[in-house]
């Protein structure tokens, strides 16, 4: 299975901060990575597909980049509503695998 190593596992940040989450794949997955946002008690929501394509439900302060094995999700100008856990998922190979998650909370 492709291992997705996500870091950090948690981050505490202030309103307006820039937060970057990284995900490293154990093998080349091209740009086949998705990112999800999950709030407590809710299903995950697709945030970014194919490494860089932002879903229409989300503001432009979210962005994704990367290809091959190294990927990142950046949140600019962090807002209180961004408090959530974020997961990466590789969709290049079966089984599709998720990273361990990054929990963002507010200082």
Q: Quote the least distance from Cβ 96 to other proteins, whole Å.
A: 4
How far, in Å, CA of 76 to CA of 3, rounded?
A: 27
User: Where along the sequence are the contacts to other proteins (CB under 8 A)?
Assistant: 32, 34, 36, 38, 43-46, 48-50, 53, 55, 87, 89, 91-92, 94-101
Whole-number Å distance between alpha carbons of 88 and 47:
10
Q: Which is nearer to other proteins, 38 or 72 (CB)?
A: 38
Closer to other proteins by Cβ: residue 15 or 59: 59
How far is 54 from 61, CA to CA, in rounded Å? 10
């Amino acid at each position: 299975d492709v291992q997705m190593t996500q870091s950090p596992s948690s981050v505490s940040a202030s309103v307006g901060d820039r937060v970057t989450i990284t995900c490293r794949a154990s093998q080349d997955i091209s740009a086949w990575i998705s990112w999800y946002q999950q709030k407590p008690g809710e299903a995950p929501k697709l945030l970014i597909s194919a490494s860089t394509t932002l879903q229409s439900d989300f503001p432009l302060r979210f962005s994704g980049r990367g290809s091959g094995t190294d990927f990142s999700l950046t949140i600019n100008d962090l807002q209180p509503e961004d408090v959530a856990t974020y997961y990466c998922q590789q969709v290049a190979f079966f089984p599709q695998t998720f990273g361990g998650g990054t929990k963002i909370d507010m200082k």
